[in-house]
Amino acid sequence: MPLDTSDSELLAVRAAELYYEENKTQDEIGAILRITRWKVGRLLAQARERGIIRIEIVHPRARRLGLERDLAARFGLTDAVVVPAPLDDVELQSRVAEAAADYLVSMRPVPRLLGLSWGRTLHQVAESLPVGWSTGVNVVQLNGGVSLSKRPGTAAATATMIAQKAGGEATLLPTPAILERLETKRAIEGDRTVGGVIQLARTAHAYLFSAGPADTSSVHVDSGYLTADDIARLVERGAVGDVLGRYITADGEIADPELDARTLGLGLDELRAAKRSILAVGGESKHAVARAIVTHGLCSVLVTDEHTARFLLGRDIDADPLTDDTDPTAPREDTP
């Protein structure tokens, strides 16, 4: 005689208790409950489906595998890394940076020449990498980063740190990110040394970059390249953030061609054509620019947090993270 719904649910609860709390095998559970091993597997699956079981990996370097698969499929990415999102924005940026560092360590083949942008997130990536993370990896800057403010910038330090930790050398682009005059920018680009760095950057085996929001928290404001009024004008032109110092719209296009012409370094077309372009980005303020980047082919690998991932997929940011991942009731070794 088949069990009614309430009896079946109670049996599923009992099977789950024995499996997860008592660490019983499915054979042992079957003997205790006087049901077949196959029935035990079905009960555990029902417990998961009905929300009776909640299993969550809470380590800060855990990953949301279901979201990673969905991002890769939706946007045609080579790879995606999604980490849990803490409540604190500072901790969130740290987790994304650590995940990007872990990704670099695991990359195969090893990128013997790594093209690198600059910014707060990437400096944290450099700090998170262990000494000896690889061997013989050289780094070349993708865009200018000499600070124009009294506060020292981190562009050169970031590239040097990543290279030194891998026993390599850093080739720096010792220029501002944005020039005041187009003529000055063209003259600097025409310099043999600067032109050589840019040409070397085009040959990099992989690019690692982040993205900035179109607001006054931008590193370009902090570094003295732009003012709050400049940012306001960019937003009026549809800018959602910057990539390699180039402000883009939601359509992945340049927001201000005149400003872009004065921006020194690799451009969007070169980023799209890269062998592997890794975007490390997280936080609500960067949701719009992250969507523009992944939607319009400006990265092939995405490292981000789960809230940003759900935003990109059009899902509820506050959804249960367990619904995104592999079924934790998958059979253990004791099942066929």
Percent of the chain with pLDDT over 90: 61
- Residue 12 belongs to a domain with what CATH number? 1.10.10.10
- Domain total for the chain? 2
- Whether residue 224 is predicted with pLDDT greater than 90 in this model: the reply is no
Q: Are 143 and 177 in contact (CB under 8 A)?
A: yes
Q: How confident is the model at residue 325 (pLDDT cuts 50, 70, 90)?
A: low
Mean pLDDT of the chain: 86
Q: Cis peptide before 109, with omega less than 30 degrees from 0? A: yes
Does 191 fall in a domain? yes
Does 226 fall in a domain? yes
Q: Out of 118-122, 143-147, 171-175, 247-251, pick the least confident.
A: 143-147
Helix axes 37-49, 5-16, angle to 10 degrees: 100
| pLDDT, tens digit (0-9, with 9 covering 90-100), for 147-199 | 664 555 688 899 999 999 999 999 998 888 888 899 999 999 889 999 999 99
- Whether residue 304 is predicted with pLDDT greater than 90 in this model: the reply is yes
Q: Out of 91-95, 147-151, 295-299, pick the least confident.
A: 147-151
Q: How confident is the model at residue 84 (pLDDT cuts 50, 70, 90)?
A: confident
Rounded CA separation 185/183 (Å): 5
| pLDDT, tens digit (0-9, with 9 covering 90-100), for 51-64 | 887 666 555 566 67
- Whether residue 123 is predicted with pLDDT greater than 80 in this model: the reply is yes
What does the angle CA 128 – CA 131 – CA 133 come to, to the nearest 5 degrees? Answer: 80
Domain with 23, as residue range(s), is 5-50
> Considering the entire predicted model, what is its pTM?
0.77
Does 207 fall in a domain? yes
Q: Are residues 178 and 230 in the same domain?
A: yes
